[in-house]
A and B are shown apart, each in its own frame.
Chain A
Amino acid sequence: MGSNQGIPGSVRTGEIALERTEAGLPVLAIKGEHDLSTAPVLRQQLHSLIAEGVPIVVDLSSATFVDSSILGVILDARRRAEAEGRGFAVSHANGADPVGRVLDITGLRSELPVHAARELAETAAVGNPSGKSPA
Protein backbone atom coordinates (compact mmCIF):
# COMPACT_ATOMS: atom_id res chain seq x y z
CA MET A 1 0.00 0.00 0.00
CA GLY A 2 1.43 3.37 0.92
CA SER A 3 1.53 5.85 -1.90
CA ASN A 4 0.78 5.38 -5.56
CA GLN A 5 3.79 6.92 -7.11
CA GLY A 6 3.27 10.28 -8.73
CA ILE A 7 -0.38 10.69 -7.81
CA PRO A 8 -0.70 13.44 -5.26
CA GLY A 9 -2.67 12.64 -2.15
CA SER A 10 -3.10 8.98 -2.97
CA VAL A 11 -1.76 7.99 0.40
CA ARG A 12 -3.55 5.21 2.17
CA THR A 13 -3.28 4.20 5.75
CA GLY A 14 -0.44 1.77 5.93
CA GLU A 15 -0.10 -1.86 6.82
CA ILE A 16 1.11 -3.77 9.81
CA ALA A 17 3.17 -6.83 8.93
CA LEU A 18 3.89 -9.60 11.37
CA GLU A 19 7.39 -10.80 10.59
CA ARG A 20 9.57 -13.29 12.44
CA THR A 21 13.26 -13.26 13.09
CA GLU A 22 15.31 -16.41 12.44
CA ALA A 23 14.89 -17.24 16.10
CA GLY A 24 11.10 -16.97 15.73
CA LEU A 25 10.77 -13.68 17.60
CA PRO A 26 7.71 -11.75 16.37
CA VAL A 27 8.43 -8.35 14.83
CA LEU A 28 5.48 -6.10 14.16
CA ALA A 29 6.61 -3.93 11.25
CA ILE A 30 4.54 -0.76 10.96
CA LYS A 31 4.60 0.49 7.36
CA GLY A 32 3.23 3.65 5.76
CA GLU A 33 0.87 6.13 7.43
CA HIS A 34 -0.80 5.21 10.69
CA ASP A 35 -3.27 7.17 12.73
CA LEU A 36 -6.50 6.93 14.67
CA SER A 37 -8.03 4.81 11.91
CA THR A 38 -5.43 2.03 12.24
CA ALA A 39 -4.72 2.29 15.98
CA PRO A 40 -7.41 -0.30 16.93
CA VAL A 41 -5.87 -2.88 14.56
CA LEU A 42 -2.40 -2.27 15.97
CA ARG A 43 -3.71 -2.52 19.54
CA GLN A 44 -5.40 -5.83 18.74
CA GLN A 45 -2.28 -7.30 17.17
CA LEU A 46 -0.09 -6.23 20.07
CA HIS A 47 -2.50 -7.68 22.61
CA SER A 48 -2.55 -10.99 20.74
CA LEU A 49 1.24 -11.14 20.72
CA ILE A 50 1.47 -10.29 24.40
CA ALA A 51 -0.98 -13.11 25.06
CA GLU A 52 1.37 -15.47 23.18
CA GLY A 53 3.88 -14.84 25.92
CA VAL A 54 6.88 -14.16 23.68
CA PRO A 55 9.18 -11.11 23.48
CA ILE A 56 7.96 -8.56 20.94
CA VAL A 57 9.68 -6.03 18.70
CA VAL A 58 7.79 -3.14 17.11
CA ASP A 59 9.71 -1.79 14.12
CA LEU A 60 8.81 1.75 13.01
CA SER A 61 11.51 1.98 10.33
CA SER A 62 9.08 1.73 7.40
CA ALA A 63 6.45 3.99 8.92
CA THR A 64 6.03 7.32 7.14
CA PHE A 65 3.63 8.92 9.61
CA VAL A 66 2.45 8.06 13.11
CA ASP A 67 0.23 10.16 15.34
CA SER A 68 -0.24 10.25 19.09
CA SER A 69 -2.86 7.52 19.03
CA ILE A 70 -0.30 5.09 17.59
CA LEU A 71 2.30 6.18 20.13
CA GLY A 72 -0.34 5.72 22.85
CA VAL A 73 -1.02 2.16 21.70
CA ILE A 74 2.71 1.35 21.74
CA LEU A 75 3.12 2.82 25.24
CA ASP A 76 0.12 0.90 26.48
CA ALA A 77 1.45 -2.34 24.98
CA ARG A 78 4.80 -1.80 26.64
CA ARG A 79 3.07 -1.36 30.00
CA ARG A 80 1.10 -4.55 29.48
CA ALA A 81 4.15 -6.52 28.39
CA GLU A 82 6.09 -5.21 31.34
CA ALA A 83 3.30 -6.13 33.75
CA GLU A 84 3.32 -9.68 32.42
CA GLY A 85 7.09 -9.97 32.38
CA ARG A 86 7.34 -10.10 28.56
CA GLY A 87 10.16 -8.53 26.59
CA PHE A 88 9.13 -5.52 24.51
CA ALA A 89 11.31 -3.22 22.42
CA VAL A 90 10.86 -0.65 19.66
CA SER A 91 13.17 0.05 16.74
CA HIS A 92 13.39 2.91 14.26
CA ALA A 93 16.35 3.06 11.93
CA ASN A 94 15.79 6.38 10.16
CA GLY A 95 16.93 9.05 12.57
CA ALA A 96 15.27 12.33 11.76
CA ASP A 97 12.48 11.34 9.36
CA PRO A 98 8.91 12.47 10.22
CA VAL A 99 8.44 9.53 12.59
CA GLY A 100 11.83 10.12 14.22
CA ARG A 101 10.94 13.75 14.72
CA VAL A 102 7.76 12.83 16.58
CA LEU A 103 9.68 10.30 18.70
CA ASP A 104 12.17 13.01 19.63
CA ILE A 105 9.62 15.71 20.40
CA THR A 106 7.53 13.45 22.62
CA GLY A 107 10.64 12.19 24.40
CA LEU A 108 9.69 8.63 23.50
CA ARG A 109 13.01 7.88 21.82
CA SER A 110 14.61 7.74 25.26
CA GLU A 111 11.49 6.84 27.24
CA LEU A 112 10.55 3.68 25.35
CA PRO A 113 13.52 3.47 24.43
CA VAL A 114 13.72 3.34 20.63
CA HIS A 115 16.63 1.31 19.27
CA ALA A 116 18.41 2.42 16.11
CA ALA A 117 18.28 -1.02 14.51
CA ARG A 118 15.90 -3.97 14.59
CA GLU A 119 18.69 -6.27 15.75
CA LEU A 120 19.38 -4.09 18.78
CA ALA A 121 15.69 -4.11 19.65
CA GLU A 122 15.60 -7.89 19.33
CA THR A 123 18.50 -8.21 21.72
CA ALA A 124 16.84 -5.83 24.17
CA ALA A 125 13.48 -7.62 23.97
CA VAL A 126 15.01 -11.01 24.61
CA GLY A 127 17.48 -9.76 27.20
CA ASN A 128 15.18 -8.00 29.62
CA PRO A 129 11.43 -7.87 30.01
CA SER A 130 10.77 -4.14 29.71
CA GLY A 131 13.02 -3.62 26.70
CA LYS A 132 14.89 -0.92 28.56
CA SER A 133 18.62 -0.75 28.37
CA PRO A 134 20.37 -2.36 31.35
CA ALA A 135 21.38 0.17 33.99
Chain B
Amino acid sequence: MSSPDFHLLLPAKAENVLVVRQAVAGLGEAIGLPEQRIDDLKTVVTEACNNVVLHAYDQRPGPLAVTAEAGEDEVAVVVADRGRGFEPRPSGAGEASLGLGLPLIAALSDSFEISGGAGEGTRTSIRFGYAPPVGRDNGTPGIERIEETLSMQLAPGAAVRPVLARVLGAMASRADLPVDRLADSVLLGDAVSSHAPADFAEGQVAVSIKDGDRALDVRVGPLIEGGGERILAQMEIPGGGSLRKLARSMEVTKGVASDGSSAEFLVFEIAT
Protein backbone atom coordinates (compact mmCIF):
# COMPACT_ATOMS: atom_id res chain seq x y z
CA MET B 1 0.00 0.00 0.00
CA SER B 2 1.51 3.30 -0.99
CA SER B 3 1.03 6.26 1.29
CA PRO B 4 -1.33 9.07 0.33
CA ASP B 5 -0.03 12.22 -1.34
CA PHE B 6 -1.39 14.11 1.59
CA HIS B 7 -3.13 13.59 4.83
CA LEU B 8 -4.80 16.59 6.39
CA LEU B 9 -6.14 16.62 9.91
CA LEU B 10 -7.99 19.68 11.07
CA PRO B 11 -10.94 20.76 13.19
CA ALA B 12 -14.29 20.06 11.52
CA LYS B 13 -15.32 23.68 11.11
CA ALA B 14 -17.06 25.39 8.21
CA GLU B 15 -14.17 27.80 7.66
CA ASN B 16 -11.72 24.91 7.23
CA VAL B 17 -13.47 23.43 4.20
CA LEU B 18 -11.86 26.09 2.01
CA VAL B 19 -8.42 24.96 3.20
CA VAL B 20 -9.13 21.36 2.20
CA ARG B 21 -10.46 22.61 -1.13
CA GLN B 22 -7.18 24.42 -1.77
CA ALA B 23 -5.16 21.34 -0.84
CA VAL B 24 -6.93 19.13 -3.37
CA ALA B 25 -6.69 21.87 -5.97
CA GLY B 26 -2.93 21.90 -5.38
CA LEU B 27 -2.76 18.16 -5.85
CA GLY B 28 -4.91 18.39 -9.00
CA GLU B 29 -2.55 21.04 -10.34
CA ALA B 30 0.50 18.92 -9.55
CA ILE B 31 -0.78 15.93 -11.47
CA GLY B 32 -1.91 18.05 -14.40
CA LEU B 33 -5.67 17.54 -14.09
CA PRO B 34 -7.60 19.72 -16.50
CA GLU B 35 -9.07 22.84 -14.91
CA GLN B 36 -12.63 21.57 -15.04
CA ARG B 37 -11.65 18.34 -13.32
CA ILE B 38 -9.93 20.33 -10.59
CA ASP B 39 -13.19 22.22 -10.12
CA ASP B 40 -15.05 18.91 -9.89
CA LEU B 41 -12.58 17.63 -7.33
CA LYS B 42 -13.04 20.79 -5.27
CA THR B 43 -16.82 20.40 -5.35
CA VAL B 44 -16.78 16.72 -4.46
CA VAL B 45 -14.37 17.16 -1.57
CA THR B 46 -16.24 20.22 -0.33
CA GLU B 47 -19.50 18.29 -0.21
CA ALA B 48 -17.91 15.36 1.61
CA CYS B 49 -16.36 17.76 4.15
CA ASN B 50 -19.69 19.60 4.52
CA ASN B 51 -21.31 16.37 5.63
CA VAL B 52 -18.69 16.04 8.37
CA VAL B 53 -19.02 19.66 9.50
CA LEU B 54 -22.82 19.55 9.48
CA HIS B 55 -23.59 16.09 10.73
CA ALA B 56 -20.68 14.33 12.45
CA TYR B 57 -20.38 16.05 15.78
CA ASP B 58 -23.67 17.80 16.48
CA GLN B 59 -22.06 21.23 17.00
CA ARG B 60 -19.29 19.80 19.20
CA PRO B 61 -15.61 19.98 18.21
CA GLY B 62 -14.10 17.03 16.41
CA PRO B 63 -11.53 16.17 13.78
CA LEU B 64 -11.91 16.14 10.01
CA ALA B 65 -9.37 13.94 8.23
CA VAL B 66 -8.77 14.05 4.52
CA THR B 67 -6.36 11.87 2.58
CA ALA B 68 -5.75 12.09 -1.13
CA GLU B 69 -3.68 9.88 -3.34
CA ALA B 70 -3.09 10.39 -7.02
CA GLY B 71 -2.59 7.21 -8.97
CA GLU B 72 -1.92 6.80 -12.65
CA ASP B 73 -5.55 7.11 -13.68
CA GLU B 74 -7.38 8.36 -10.65
CA VAL B 75 -7.35 10.40 -7.50
CA ALA B 76 -8.54 8.57 -4.41
CA VAL B 77 -9.86 10.76 -1.64
CA VAL B 78 -11.03 9.68 1.80
CA VAL B 79 -12.87 12.11 4.05
CA ALA B 80 -13.28 10.72 7.54
CA ASP B 81 -14.56 11.73 10.94
CA ARG B 82 -14.93 10.22 14.38
CA GLY B 83 -18.50 11.37 14.77
CA ARG B 84 -21.76 9.69 15.49
CA GLY B 85 -22.28 8.23 12.04
CA PHE B 86 -25.35 8.71 9.93
CA GLU B 87 -28.51 8.91 11.96
CA PRO B 88 -32.03 9.28 10.67
CA ARG B 89 -33.33 12.70 11.57
CA PRO B 90 -35.35 15.43 9.95
CA SER B 91 -33.32 18.10 8.23
CA GLY B 92 -33.56 21.64 9.53
CA ALA B 93 -35.25 24.43 7.63
CA GLY B 94 -33.14 25.58 4.72
CA GLU B 95 -30.60 22.84 5.34
CA ALA B 96 -30.48 21.44 1.86
CA SER B 97 -26.83 20.44 1.94
CA LEU B 98 -27.29 16.69 2.37
CA GLY B 99 -30.01 16.77 -0.26
CA LEU B 100 -27.80 18.20 -3.00
CA GLY B 101 -24.39 17.25 -1.68
CA LEU B 102 -24.45 13.51 -2.25
CA PRO B 103 -25.89 13.78 -5.77
CA LEU B 104 -23.09 16.24 -6.59
CA ILE B 105 -20.49 13.77 -5.30
CA ALA B 106 -22.15 10.99 -7.28
CA ALA B 107 -22.36 12.99 -10.49
CA LEU B 108 -18.80 14.33 -10.46
CA SER B 109 -16.81 11.36 -9.21
CA ASP B 110 -16.38 7.99 -10.83
CA SER B 111 -17.47 6.20 -7.70
CA PHE B 112 -17.95 6.89 -4.05
CA GLU B 113 -18.94 4.99 -0.98
CA ILE B 114 -19.85 5.91 2.52
CA SER B 115 -18.94 3.51 5.27
CA GLY B 116 -19.11 3.45 9.03
CA GLY B 117 -21.86 3.16 11.54
CA ALA B 118 -23.25 4.59 14.73
CA GLY B 119 -20.36 5.50 17.01
CA GLU B 120 -17.72 4.52 14.47
CA GLY B 121 -17.42 7.70 12.55
CA THR B 122 -18.02 7.95 8.85
CA ARG B 123 -15.69 7.61 5.88
CA THR B 124 -16.54 8.88 2.46
CA SER B 125 -14.23 7.30 -0.09
CA ILE B 126 -14.24 8.94 -3.47
CA ARG B 127 -12.52 7.91 -6.67
CA PHE B 128 -11.91 9.74 -9.91
CA GLY B 129 -10.84 7.77 -12.95
CA TYR B 130 -11.29 4.22 -14.11
CA ALA B 131 -8.44 2.28 -12.59
CA PRO B 132 -9.24 -0.89 -10.64
CA PRO B 133 -10.27 -0.29 -7.04
CA VAL B 134 -7.54 -0.02 -4.44
CA GLY B 135 -7.90 -1.35 -0.92
CA ARG B 136 -8.87 0.94 1.88
CA ASP B 137 -7.29 -0.91 4.78
CA ASN B 138 -4.75 1.66 5.77
CA GLY B 139 -6.90 3.33 8.40
CA THR B 140 -6.79 7.03 8.87
CA PRO B 141 -3.58 7.89 10.68
CA GLY B 142 -3.75 10.35 13.51
CA ILE B 143 -7.49 10.81 13.54
CA GLU B 144 -7.76 10.09 17.25
CA ARG B 145 -6.03 13.31 18.04
CA ILE B 146 -8.19 16.38 18.35
CA GLU B 147 -6.21 19.55 18.09
CA GLU B 148 -6.88 23.11 17.16
CA THR B 149 -4.15 22.95 14.56
CA LEU B 150 -4.06 21.73 11.02
CA SER B 151 -1.59 18.94 10.49
CA MET B 152 -0.60 17.36 7.23
CA GLN B 153 1.70 14.72 5.92
CA LEU B 154 2.73 14.82 2.30
CA ALA B 155 4.30 11.91 0.48
CA PRO B 156 7.44 12.82 -1.47
CA GLY B 157 6.64 13.89 -5.00
CA ALA B 158 5.43 16.64 -7.26
CA ALA B 159 2.39 17.40 -5.12
CA VAL B 160 4.37 18.57 -2.08
CA ARG B 161 5.10 22.06 -3.33
CA PRO B 162 1.67 23.05 -4.71
CA VAL B 163 -0.28 21.45 -1.86
CA LEU B 164 1.88 23.02 0.86
CA ALA B 165 1.91 26.39 -0.93
CA ARG B 166 -1.86 26.45 -1.35
CA VAL B 167 -2.61 25.34 2.21
CA LEU B 168 -0.19 27.93 3.62
CA GLY B 169 -1.65 30.56 1.29
CA ALA B 170 -5.21 29.75 2.36
CA MET B 171 -4.34 29.75 6.06
CA ALA B 172 -2.36 33.00 5.77
CA SER B 173 -5.20 34.58 3.85
CA ARG B 174 -7.72 33.52 6.46
CA ALA B 175 -5.52 34.83 9.25
CA ASP B 176 -5.86 38.26 7.60
CA LEU B 177 -2.17 38.53 6.83
CA PRO B 178 -1.38 41.27 4.32
CA VAL B 179 -0.37 40.34 0.78
CA ASP B 180 3.40 40.61 1.34
CA ARG B 181 3.14 38.23 4.31
CA LEU B 182 1.07 35.89 2.15
CA ALA B 183 3.86 35.83 -0.39
CA ASP B 184 6.39 35.28 2.42
CA SER B 185 4.45 32.30 3.76
CA VAL B 186 4.43 30.72 0.32
CA LEU B 187 8.19 31.35 -0.09
CA LEU B 188 8.90 29.73 3.27
CA GLY B 189 6.66 26.81 2.28
CA ASP B 190 8.67 26.47 -0.91
CA ALA B 191 11.90 26.45 1.08
CA VAL B 192 10.55 23.55 3.15
CA SER B 193 9.23 21.77 0.06
CA SER B 194 12.51 22.03 -1.79
CA HIS B 195 14.19 20.18 1.04
CA ALA B 196 11.66 17.40 1.17
CA PRO B 197 11.77 14.67 2.20
CA ALA B 198 15.38 13.83 3.00
CA ASP B 199 15.41 15.28 6.48
CA PHE B 200 11.97 14.23 7.63
CA ALA B 201 12.08 11.48 10.26
CA GLU B 202 9.11 9.55 8.92
CA GLY B 203 9.88 9.84 5.22
CA GLN B 204 6.98 12.21 4.67
CA VAL B 205 6.88 15.97 4.74
CA ALA B 206 5.04 16.77 7.97
CA VAL B 207 3.82 20.26 8.76
CA SER B 208 1.45 21.61 11.41
CA ILE B 209 -0.09 25.06 11.10
CA LYS B 210 -1.97 26.98 13.74
CA ASP B 211 -3.64 30.16 12.64
CA GLY B 212 -4.35 33.07 14.91
CA ASP B 213 -5.23 36.70 14.44
CA ARG B 214 -2.79 37.98 11.85
CA ALA B 215 -0.29 35.23 12.60
CA LEU B 216 0.53 31.69 11.59
CA ASP B 217 2.54 29.30 13.72
CA VAL B 218 4.18 26.68 11.55
CA ARG B 219 5.87 23.56 12.88
CA VAL B 220 7.88 21.49 10.41
CA GLY B 221 8.80 17.96 11.42
CA PRO B 222 9.56 15.53 12.96
CA LEU B 223 13.00 15.92 11.37
CA ILE B 224 16.05 13.74 11.76
CA GLU B 225 19.03 15.00 13.76
CA GLY B 226 20.50 18.08 12.06
CA GLY B 227 17.56 18.36 9.67
CA GLY B 228 16.40 21.69 11.07
CA GLU B 229 19.82 23.25 10.62
CA ARG B 230 20.07 21.93 7.06
CA ILE B 231 16.71 23.48 6.13
CA LEU B 232 17.87 26.75 7.70
CA ALA B 233 21.13 26.55 5.72
CA GLN B 234 19.12 26.13 2.51
CA MET B 235 17.32 29.35 3.29
CA GLU B 236 20.56 31.31 3.08
CA ILE B 237 20.71 33.65 0.13
CA PRO B 238 24.11 34.37 -1.47
CA GLY B 239 25.32 37.73 -0.23
CA GLY B 240 24.39 37.25 3.41
CA GLY B 241 20.60 37.31 3.46
CA SER B 242 18.27 34.55 4.49
CA LEU B 243 14.68 33.64 3.85
CA ARG B 244 14.39 33.05 7.58
CA LYS B 245 14.11 36.82 7.98
CA LEU B 246 10.67 36.55 6.37
CA ALA B 247 9.44 34.94 9.56
CA ARG B 248 9.00 36.90 12.77
CA SER B 249 10.80 34.11 14.57
CA MET B 250 12.34 30.84 13.48
CA GLU B 251 14.17 28.22 15.50
CA VAL B 252 15.04 24.56 15.65
CA THR B 253 13.53 22.85 18.69
CA LYS B 254 13.49 19.37 20.18
CA GLY B 255 10.18 17.57 20.41
CA VAL B 256 8.54 14.18 20.28
CA ALA B 257 7.62 12.32 17.09
CA SER B 258 4.36 10.38 16.81
CA ASP B 259 6.12 7.14 17.76
CA GLY B 260 7.35 8.70 21.00
CA SER B 261 10.98 9.08 19.93
CA SER B 262 12.68 12.44 20.22
CA ALA B 263 13.02 14.49 17.07
CA GLU B 264 13.83 17.92 15.79
CA PHE B 265 11.30 20.45 14.62
CA LEU B 266 11.71 23.71 12.77
CA VAL B 267 9.18 26.17 14.14
CA PHE B 268 8.47 29.60 12.78
CA GLU B 269 5.93 32.35 13.06
CA ILE B 270 4.65 34.45 10.19
CA ALA B 271 2.97 37.61 11.44
CA THR B 272 2.30 41.21 10.51
Contact = CB atoms under 8 A, between A and B. Distances in A.
Given A8-B186, A10-B182, A68 B18 contact: no
Interface string B85-121: 0000000011111011101100110000000000000
B18 A13 contact: yes
A9 B211 CA distance: 15
Given A11-B18, A67-B46, A98 B39 contact: yes
Interface residues of A, number: 27
Nearest to A64: B39
A68 B26 CA distance: 22
Nearest to A33: B18
A77 to B, nearest CB: 8
Nearest to A102: B43
Contact of A9 (B101, B173, B179): B173
B126 to A, nearest CB: 15
B44 to A, nearest CB: 10
B26 A8 contact: yes
Given A35-B46, A37-B15, A106-B103, A9 B96 contact: no
A7 B179 contact: yes
B22 A37 contact: no
Interface string B31-75: 000001001101100110010011000000000000000000000
Contacts of A105: 103-104, 107-108
B223 to A, nearest CB: 24
B233 interface: no
For chain B, the bracket of interface size reads 35 or more
B17 A36 contact: yes
Given A4-B179, A7-B186, A43-B94, A106 B104 contact: yes
B104 A102 contact: yes
Interface string A63-91: 00101110111011000000000000000
Interface of B: 14-15, 17-18, 21-22, 25-26, 36, 39-40, 42-43, 46-47, 50, 53-54, 93-97, 99-101, 103-104, 107-108, 162, 165-170, 172-174, 179, 182-183, 186
Interface of A: 4, 7-13, 33, 35-37, 43, 65, 67-69, 71-73, 75-76, 98, 101-102, 105-106
Given A35-B18, A105-B108, A106-B100, 11 more contacts: A8-B165, A9-B165, A10-B169, A11-B173, A35-B21, A36-B97, A37-B14, A68-B101, A69-B50, A102-B43, A106-B103
